[in-house]
Structure 1
Amino acid sequence: MKAYFGMKNPPVKITKIAIGDGSITSGQVFELLPAVTNLSVIQTYPQIIGYDQEVYKYFKAQSKLCHYDVNLTYPQNGVIPPVPLVLPSQRDVPFLLENSVSYRGFVTKVSQKHSLQERTVEKHKREQNLAVWKRDFLTGRRLDALDPWYGCLLLDMFIDYAINYTYPWSLSQDSDTFGFDVYDVTDATNPQINQDASVFLNDPRVRSALHAPKSKSWAQNFDFVFGNPDGNNVDPSTEPMNFFTELATNATSRGVGVILYSGNNDALIAHRSTEIAIQNTTFGGIQGFTVKPSTPWYNDARKFAGIIRQERNWTYVLFDGAGHLVPGDRPQSAFTFLREFVLGNNQTGAVVKNAKGQVVVVGGTNATLATDILPGSDEIYYGAGTKASTYVFPQATRAAWKSFIRTETATSSVPTKRP
């Protein structure tokens, strides 16, 4: 895009840039902070901690100690400062130390560990991790101090909690495969459903239809392709957040729209990080959105598809019921989104001025959606390589949680039910 913006007469005209589940910010912001900042992932899916109120309070305290409690305002009040990364003090994380620039080395390793293609975990490492845990999770854990085994790696902490303590993820406790899908919290199948498209894409008939070379095969994952400058196959570039305002300024001057979207079930690159990126970027001369995302949008079946906000040629879309792979999880909503907001010019969620000069939102706003949390579904799916069964916690457990979270988060008005 930098080359494109530098051309007086580019050979093509770009009208929009769309980024889905983007790792735009630093690693600790796009992966670790959303795990428990405002308890984003845990509040969306409290099933992860078995709706345990005391465990919630513990994670909330850890989040604050890690400086993950970033406050977003609309419009944003000042630049959001960088969030530090605090490593475990009780163990070494060698690949982190090898990359002193940022958290990218760790993110690469975690992404590989949690990849859709390969989820196996060496058994002796699993047993070593399990030995660290006490059956009573809160015994000896202080609210005013970081856990020395995890530091601020809180995503890893709540995944370990789920696998050790929470059904149905606990079914994989003695398994050689990884039983927590960071790309879709609702999927507790183990082994995971095979979503490797290379079987289809490498079919000779598909190759011919796509005019793909027969000398190369499709691969789901690959290392950094521009050399290996640090020995870890990690992109040495700075995180996009560091040049996002420059990108936005150029995009505004050229009339190029920017679309950022996230799936609500994604725990690895959760939507909170995208919202932070937007509020920390200046576009159209103003930092961030001036009106909080709270407008519902609907797919062609007129079913609630999520939340949208459009302002000064920037669009943010949160998909309800979708994980990291939005089109695979919600194909009908993804199709509507592509047609209406990427290829089309649907103004739902746009902040505009009416004939009287008043600022209004096309499609209105919904107070239930004007929060940091879009509650997830009650159902968690599990099975061996297929979604064979569904688990829903008892109604009394869910009701007690709703009452608790309503009081616990009264100042932020987190909803307790889905729209």
Structure 2
Amino acid sequence: MIAVYLALGVILAVIVDAQDSGPNGVGYPHNYTGIPSGDYSPEWQNYFQVIQPFPNVTWTLGRNWAGNIDVQRPGHPNNTLFFWAFEKTNGSLTAAAGENSDAPWGIWLNGGPGSSSLIGLLFENGPIHIGPDYSAYANNYSWNTLADYVWIDQPVGTGFSTVDEGAWVADEDQMGVDFFGFLENLVKVFPSLATRPLYITGESYCGTYIPYITKTYFGLQNPPVKLAKIAIGDGTIGSEEVFEMVPTVTTIETYPQLIGYDPEVYQYFKEQEHLCGYDLNFTYPQNGHFPTLNFTRGIVDGSYSSARKGNRLNGQSVLTTIADRYAASESKQLAKRDREMRRELWKAEKRDLSGRPNGTIDPWYGCYIHFELLDYAVNFSYPWSAGKDFDFYDIPDALSPEAPQDASIFLNDKTTRAAIHAPTSKDWVESINYNFTGGEDGNDPSEPMAFLTDLATNATDRHVSVVIFSGNDDSLVAHRGSEVVIQNTTFGGIQGFTRKPSTPWYDDAGSFAGIVHQERNWTYVLFQGAGHLVSAAQPAAAYTFLREFVLGSNQTGLVDSTSGSIVGGEVATLAGDYLPGGLEIFYGSGTTQSTYVAPSATIAAWEKFIQTADPITTAAGSGSSKKNAAGRAGFGIGSLMASFVVTITLLRCS
């Protein structure tokens, strides 16, 4: 699990998809015995093929290939990307040029920026998984059983990828150029990939990577591959306010355990949401763009305000900045007296709202209401208040400490390193603080908004489909933010979806897996019971999702443009702002889990309250939300790209 530990108002970050401080990625590829001379060609297949055994891998792996390939950056021969590819069936990846032209192949990317995609391979959707005891075991839901799949460490310097000193990517545009320089060489090694449909998938900071990669693709006269679809999971596509702050109340509604099922605290956060302008209204289709959010700072952000530029982060990885921000808000260990003082303030000001002035933004937190929610949870809401870890990427996980998730021992083992032709000039680390050479203090200077209209038009014209998926238990990059981004988008001449997403979908065992909605070449999928790492939490459902909605053309949730009917129907109880989370909060040490469930009377009282709670009147968005029978505002998303119009402030990719 990704763990971000919040204790007494302070977050100490251990983020898998963000960045840990650690060794930089400078290094050079290692030339192993048998390396061919000359340009890349099918002759390199024998060199890259993995034939040596791995430590603790006791089962038979399908054929796979790995190593470093040049990105063709002039003057920087050591700038390479590391790949590890597994074929679907014997010979499917090594087919000759022009063969298997209809067979899909996929790429998986992790985020960061600076996180290795081998995290995804070894803990999410690859054929080899590493357990908490560092043992290796087979993943029965590996994505390569559905298509030839390639996990790629990128940008240069990430994971086992290498980079010359000072030759990091300057920005995301250069990242895209490097990526296609790599792909041009990759298809020389595996020539059938040039004409087969490519599906680029990823999560988190890939909300930036994948749009930029797609932009680069559309700008090439003769791209080396044939892009068919992109899929972004729990992606920081919107601005920080959109993906982190706007969903706060929805997060509470999903997991009211965060506030101890307290109606007064809920009303307090509803008021803060309204005062900060986060209570955006949805219509179907959307009637006008959402307003620009005017962010209000509080006292708590003074130590890191320099990291912001205007109303957004100065290109820095949002995930890292958030962790830094929390750590900087107070000393790493609050004195007991200070903690008790804070606790009394919370009791006075948050639990007894009757004595608190109405209509004012909290001066301490300002509009950082997600941070305020987490601070409240660890001070007042059990089991987090008992000193348990808070994983804001997976709300119900309060394990303390987390079960180890460490691939470094396996990957840095000499046997593994030699088998996958990894560089010997650097050790593998799951994440680095990526050093963009074009940004201030190494931050990512890229602004993805300017090209989205052209990107959308090109996607429609060139038949590239889009999938956005989210885990319902992710509180930091929550699904509500993705819905805002898409519903704020015009495609096919219509802004946003024309109907509320409310169609259920099921995994292969027939179990409810979440909500799906499809319109005009876009697909939105919400996973029940998954956090930030969807396929790690729900491998069976993620497998079905990949087969049916990414690689396949399952029409469940599709709006018929003629009749207006929806394949699979609509379920009124799924048409709210949120999908209720589970009742259990898991805690314990490592893999030893216990569960906490609030008393049934508490839960029943909350259910009665939330069904009749009156929302604070607002005009924050254009139009008004329609309620379902439970009194909850409806939620929506968006699809297809014909004319992709956006409100810039709301759509900062991260």
TM-score tier by shorter-chain length is: 0.7 to 0.9
Mapped to 2, the partners of 1:325 and 1:125 lie a distance apart of 35
C-alpha deviations, 1:37-62, integer Å up to 9, x for none?
Answer: xx200000000000001110011001
- Match of 1:402, SS state, is helix
Mapped to 2, the partners of 1:267 and 1:54 lie a distance apart of 21
| Deviation (angstroms), 1:179 | 1.9
1:363 and 2:571 equivalent?
no
| Deviation (angstroms), 1:94 | 3.0
| Deviation (angstroms), 1:194 | 2.4
Q: Is the deviation greater in 9-18 or in 404-413? A: 404-413
Q: What's the counterpart of residue 525 of structure 2? A: 317
| Deviation (angstroms), 1:3 | 2.4
Could you say if the C-alpha distance between residues 110 and 182 of structure 1 is closer, same or farther in structure 2, counting changes exceeding 3 Å?
Answer: farther
Mapped to 1, the partners of 2:546 and 2:336 lie a distance apart of 41
Could you say if the C-alpha distance between residues 147 and 293 of structure 1 is closer, same or farther in structure 2, counting changes exceeding 3 Å?
Answer: same
| Deviation (angstroms), 1:213 | 2.6
Q: What's the counterpart of residue 152 of structure 1? A: 367
Mapped to 2, the partners of 1:192 and 1:104 lie a distance apart of 29
Mapped to 2, the partners of 1:267 and 1:321 lie a distance apart of 12
Mapped to 2, the partners of 1:71 and 1:125 lie a distance apart of 42
Out of 509, 513, 517, the residue aligned to residue 301 of structure 1 is: 509
Q: 2:304 touches 2:325 (CA, 8 Å); kept in 1?
A: no
Q: What's the counterpart of residue 240 of structure 2? A: 27
Out of 468, 489, 493, the residue aligned to residue 285 of structure 1 is: 493
Mapped to 1, the partners of 2:308 and 2:531 lie a distance apart of 29
Could you say if the C-alpha distance between residues 97 and 290 of structure 1 is closer, same or farther in structure 2, counting changes exceeding 3 Å?
Answer: same
Q: What's the counterpart of residue 399 of structure 1? A: 604
Matched AA of 2:423: P
Q: 2:470 touches 2:478 (CA, 8 Å); kept in 1?
A: yes
Mapped to 1, the partners of 2:415 and 2:554 lie a distance apart of 37
Q: Is the deviation greater in 5-14 or in 179-188? A: 5-14
Structure with greater proportional strand content: 2
Matched AA of 1:342: V
| Deviation (angstroms), 1:285 | 2.8
C-alpha deviations, 1:18-70, integer Å up to 9, x for none?
Answer: 111111111111111111xxx20000000000000111001100100000000
RMSD: 2.6
Q: What's the counterpart of residue 264 of structure 1? A: 472
Q: What's the counterpart of residue 209 of structure 2? A: none
Instruction: Give the number of equivalent residue pairs.
Output: 398
- Map residues 176-325 of structure 1 onto 2, 5 A cutoff: 179-227=389-437, 229-231=439-441, 233-238=442-447, 240=448, 243-325=451-533
- Match of 2:524, SS state, is strand
Q: Is the deviation greater in 403-412 or in 40-49? A: 403-412
1:9 and 2:214 equivalent?
no
Could you say if the C-alpha distance between residues 249 and 138 of structure 1 is closer, same or farther in structure 2, counting changes exceeding 3 Å?
Answer: same
Matched AA of 1:103: R
1:132 and 2:342 equivalent?
yes
User: With structure 1 as the length reference, what TM-score do the two structures score?
Assistant: 0.88
Could you say if the C-alpha distance between residues 245 and 273 of structure 1 is closer, same or farther in structure 2, counting changes exceeding 3 Å?
Answer: farther
Could you say if the C-alpha distance between residues 230 and 99 of structure 1 is closer, same or farther in structure 2, counting changes exceeding 3 Å?
Answer: farther
Q: What's the counterpart of residue 162 of structure 1? A: 377
Out of 277, 290, 296, the residue aligned to residue 86 of structure 1 is: 296
Q: What's the counterpart of residue 413 of structure 1? A: 628
Q: 1:323 touches 1:329 (CA, 8 Å); kept in 2?
A: yes
Matched AA of 1:32: M
- Match of 1:381, SS state, is strand
Mapped to 2, the partners of 1:223 and 1:284 lie a distance apart of 39
- Match of 1:323, SS state, is coil
C-alpha deviations, 1:216-274, integer Å up to 9, x for none?
Answer: 3332222234226222x321222x45543432222111110011110000000100000
Mapped to 2, the partners of 1:142 and 1:414 lie a distance apart of 32
Q: What's the counterpart of residue 147 of structure 2? A: none
Matched AA of 1:372: D
- Match of 2:439, SS state, is coil
Mapped to 1, the partners of 2:629 and 2:536 lie a distance apart of 28
Out of 523, 536, 540, the residue aligned to residue 332 of structure 1 is: 540
| Deviation (angstroms), 1:416 | 9.7
Could you say if the C-alpha distance between residues 133 and 207 of structure 1 is closer, same or farther in structure 2, counting changes exceeding 3 Å?
Answer: same
Q: 2:301 touches 2:365 (CA, 8 Å); kept in 1?
A: no
| Larger Rg, first or second structure (1 or 2) | 2
Q: What's the counterpart of residue 283 of structure 2? A: 73
Q: Is the deviation greater in 240-249 or in 70-79? A: 240-249
| Deviation (angstroms), 1:415 | 5.2
Matched AA of 1:58: Y
Q: 2:572 touches 2:628 (CA, 8 Å); kept in 1?
A: no
Could you say if the C-alpha distance between residues 57 and 331 of structure 1 is closer, same or farther in structure 2, counting changes exceeding 3 Å?
Answer: same
Matched AA of 1:217: D
C-alpha deviations, 1:145-165, integer Å up to 9, x for none?
Answer: 111110111111111111111
| Deviation (angstroms), 1:359 | 1.9
User: With structure 2 as the length reference, what TM-score do the two structures score?
Assistant: 0.57
Q: 2:301 touches 2:325 (CA, 8 Å); kept in 1?
A: no
Q: What's the counterpart of residue 343 of structure 1? A: 551
- Match of 1:337, SS state, is helix
For structure 1, the residue ranges without an aligned partner over 5 or more in a row are 116-120, 173-177
Q: Is the deviation greater in 159-168 or in 218-227? A: 218-227
1:96 and 2:301 equivalent?
no
Mapped to 1, the partners of 2:336 and 2:291 lie a distance apart of 36
Q: Is the deviation greater in 215-224 or in 121-130? A: 121-130
| Deviation (angstroms), 1:383 | 1.2
Matched AA of 1:311: E
Q: What's the counterpart of residue 118 of structure 1? A: none
